[in-house]
Amino acid sequence: MSIKIKEYAGTPLREEDLKQGKVLSFGYWPKAKYSWSAGVAIGRYLAELRNARVVGRQCDKCGRTAVPPRMFCEWCFRPNDRWVILKDSGVVNTYSISHIAADATRIEEPLIPTVIQIDGTTDAGILHLVGETDPKEVKFGMKVQAVWKRPEERTGAITDIRYFRPIER
């Protein structure tokens, strides 16, 4: 009972308490390694990225084209019907300007993580970066186009697209 409790448990430490050994601490580096199966849908998606193509899957029942592709339509719950080769361009659905890396350390050149709605789809955005622009110039609804790695550099990964660049202002 909140008002009746005088002392709450918990012993806060400072980083220095650990560094200076005031409190014992134990480091551990796990080996957590995997080899993930891309499967039918993402397998083809990644293979096509190597060909500098973006592909989606279309459902005949609701007419929706999904990217990243999956072999089922989650809304109709049925196998979807066909592969669709999409344009490698789209519009900015939402964006941000990142000054930090994945581990929360600061980075010099800000990145522009963006959800890009691929042209020819109704709701299918993908996560990627926008580049070749001043972050201040990025706008909602701005048209962007994929900038691909050179063919010999492409491995069949989402990073085969280096980033998307604005194609009109």
Smallest separation, CB 151 to other proteins (Å): 18
Out of 62, 85, 157, 167, point to the residue binding other proteins (CB under 8 A): 157
Distance CA 124, CA 120 (A): 9
Distances in Å between the Cα of 27 and the Cα atoms of 5, 11, 13, 30, 105 are 35, 20, 16, 10, 20
- Binding-site size for other proteins (CB under 8 A) equals 80
Ranges within 64-83 binding other proteins (CB under 8 A): 66, 68, 70-72, 74-77, 79, 81
Smallest separation, CB 75 to other proteins (Å): 7
Distance CA 44, CA 121 (A): 18
- Name residue 10's amino acid: G
Ranges within 82-141 binding other proteins (CB under 8 A): 93-105, 113-115, 123-129, 135, 140
Binding map of other proteins across residues 10-49, x = CB under 8 A, - = no contact:
xxxxxx-xx----xxxxxxxxxxxxxxxxxxxxxxxxx--
Smallest separation, CB 92 to other proteins (Å): 10
Distance CA 123, CA 121 (A): 6
Distance CA 114, CA 136 (A): 14
